[in-house]
Structure 1
Amino acid sequence: MDVVSDAVAAVRIGRPSSNRVRVAGSWCTRLSPYDGAGFHVVLEGSCWLLPDGGSPVSLGPGDVVLLPRGTGHVIADAPADARTLRQALPFERWQTGTVPGRSPAASGAVELLCGKYRLDRRRVHPLMEELPDVVHLPNRVGAHAELRVAVDLLGHELGTQGPGSCIAVPSLLDLLLVYMIRSWTSQGSGTWPAVLGDPVAAAALRALHSDLAAPWTNDRLAAEAGVSRATLARRFTTLVGRPPMAYLTWWRLTFAATLLRDTQDPLAAVAGRVGYSTPYAFSHAFSREFGTTPGQYRASAA
């Protein structure tokens, strides 16, 4: 695994959902705050995203927008005043395409891919915490090529509903989420894009995330990163915000919480997968970090 994959896997639960909507004329629809993450892709036309408490965002053909905290928002054909926002139709009306206005076949139609992911926010990787309320990824020539391919594939599957689409669509939605976050990190603004762009910190994180159960030490990790122990400690701590071994302990226990939530593996197996030699040592560390036992945590997550 790697940092982005682990960060997404730790919070994602259940199956994502999506639908394809085509509307025209004057329209305005509201999506209530959601305990997860939402996204929109403009396949055709243009519209406006009006997030609660945020600035309006103009969306054009091919634009992608991610709302990683499920922020309530309105989508409309044009910027809307307060009265129009209050009268916005619930998004559920869109699922059947019954939105007032001209025929969707008319000129000026807008076609959207809309979806959402269920997320467990109890233990969130700082990379996910740093995502802004609205991540706007404009469609620019040569930018985010893999994201464009995922959007095209998802749009095709939703439009055709061919054999195997029940498997293909959720998989493509997971891929889309990874590509949206990857595209945000590539923009280079923020702590974690800087972390992943630093050769020393990134190499150390790759090593830790690829083999969480290994008997890591500062010396061994420094060798993996190709620097001295002092250099690793200084750069990693400055960028990540905690020393390498402290990060390792925190992530081992966070990943263990994901295993307790998503699997029925016995405690000894979970302990072994995250680098603890005995269930007792693991339980002690887990209780110290979470304030509850692994068994109680698993029961609460069921």
Structure 2
Amino acid sequence: MDALTDLLDGPRAHGAFMIRSMLNPPWSMRIQDEAPLTLVAVVRDEAWVIPDKGAPVHVRAGDLVICRGPDPYVVADDPSTEPQIVIHPGQRCTTPDGTSLSEAMDLGVRAWGTDPGGRAVMLVGTYETRGAVTQRLLAALPPLAVVRGDTWRSPLVGLLDEEIVKDEPGQEVVLDRLLDLLLIQTLRAWFSRPEAEQPGWYRAHGDPVVGPALRLLHDDLAHPWTVADLAAKVGVSRAALAQRFGKLVGEPPMAYLTGVRLAQAADLLRESDATLDAVARQVGYGTAFALSTAFKREHGMSPQEYRSGAATATTA
């Protein structure tokens, strides 16, 4: 397993919020739902995505946009259009003064907007809980990532466009899996762009020394790795591996491994009911105490406190 495969194995939509938006200009929506990740596929016409911090980004039909929360942003037909719609946590929809728009903009099964024949059409999929998207993935992304339609091709957008308005048995599961697949394809396309601000581990993936070392680590996090072990496996000296790994990845091999182990532990605590001992063994710590010590140093709280906080947030 390479580092990107490990990262992309994270999205797990479960009852994700999905909708087909159809709008006529002028239109503008302020998104402040605090969702960790939202994927927008522009099917028809064009739009602007305007983060609170950063420059507006123009997107056209065929483009895909990944918005990393929880910071708010605006999606509009034009940067000068004032928001008429506000999307709150739980996907509650109001005017800026708080008047509900839920009924007024309901156009049918997972269809929403101002006009069923609206000029602008977008498919929106939102991962509403952090349990659905790993912290490692969120940390690897900028607040706004755009994959241009002329740089890639996929049948998934068309398939999702057909399926999103259906109301058939098992439809929610079908849509969840389509959303996961589309997000993974979009992420892979975004990370592979020459101009992408790629994490160090991504750039190092193709290196003949560091790439295999990264794959070894991700293949077996529980193994009691040392730099000497890794160096022997990839056929270089310990010093050569340490120097090359640090230069390409940006941190020493064991520091990288610790970060991945603790991130994986956080995901397991959030997403499963495994005991702390079981989590510790799975990510390479001999005892629950050893994991607790390292986890508290990294996250500022114990694993039990982290799990309780994640459960409370998911319930809310």
Q: Same fold (TM over 0.5)?
A: yes
Distance 2:53 2:289 in 1: 47
Say if 1:20 and 1:113, in contact at 8 Å, map to a contact too: yes
> Residues 1-302 of structure 1: matches in 2 within 5 Å?
2-7=2-7, 15-32=15-32, 34-77=34-77, 79-81=78-80, 84-85=81-82, 87-91=83-87, 92=93, 93=101, 96-97=106-107, 99-100=113-114, 103-105=115-117, 109-118=119-128, 120=130, 124-125=135-136, 128-140=138-150, 143-145=151-153, 148-188=154-194, 189-192=196-199, 193-302=202-311
For structure 1, which segment, 7-16 or 240-249, has the greater mean C-alpha deviation from structure 2 after superposition?
7-16
Say if 1:222 and 1:228, in contact at 8 Å, map to a contact too: yes
Report the Cα offset of residue 22 of structure 1: 1.9
Change in 2 beyond 3 A, CA 1:104/1:119: closer
Change in 2 beyond 3 A, CA 1:33/1:72: farther
Report the Cα offset of residue 191 of structure 1: 4.2
Deviation per residue, 1:253-286 (Å, 9 max, x gap): 2212222222221222112111223333333333
Q: CA RMSD in A?
A: 2.9
Distance 1:25 1:283 in 2: 53
Change in 2 beyond 3 A, CA 1:291/1:21: closer
Distance 1:19 1:27 in 2: 17
Deviation per residue, 1:64-96 (Å, 9 max, x gap): 01112344233233x232xx32x4223534861
Say if 2:13 and 2:179, in contact at 8 Å, map to a contact too: no
Distance 1:173 1:119 in 2: 15
Distance 2:79 2:245 in 1: 46
Q: Considering fraction of residues, name the structure with more helix.
A: 1
For structure 1, which segment, 61-70 or 20-29, has the greater mean C-alpha deviation from structure 2 after superposition?
20-29
Provide the TM-score with structure 1 as the length reference.
0.81
Report the Cα offset of residue 155 of structure 1: 1.9
Change in 2 beyond 3 A, CA 1:99/1:282: closer
Distance 1:52 1:291 in 2: 28
Distance 2:15 2:216 in 1: 29
Deviation per residue, 1:20-70 (Å, 9 max, x gap): 122234322222262412221111222222332332222222110111234
Report the Cα offset of residue 2 of structure 1: 4.2
Say if 2:204 and 2:210, in contact at 8 Å, map to a contact too: yes
Provide the TM-score with structure 2 as the length reference.
0.78
For structure 1, which segment, 280-289 or 111-120, has the greater mean C-alpha deviation from structure 2 after superposition?
280-289
For structure 1, which segment, 247-256 or 277-286, has the greater mean C-alpha deviation from structure 2 after superposition?
277-286
Distance 1:90 1:293 in 2: 36
Say if 1:13 and 1:120, in contact at 8 Å, map to a contact too: no
Report the Cα offset of residue 243 of structure 1: 0.8
In structure 1, stretches of 5+ residues that fail to align are none
Distance 2:125 2:116 in 1: 20
Report the Cα offset of residue 246 of structure 1: 1.8
Say if 1:12 and 1:120, in contact at 8 Å, map to a contact too: no
Say if 1:7 and 1:128, in contact at 8 Å, map to a contact too: no
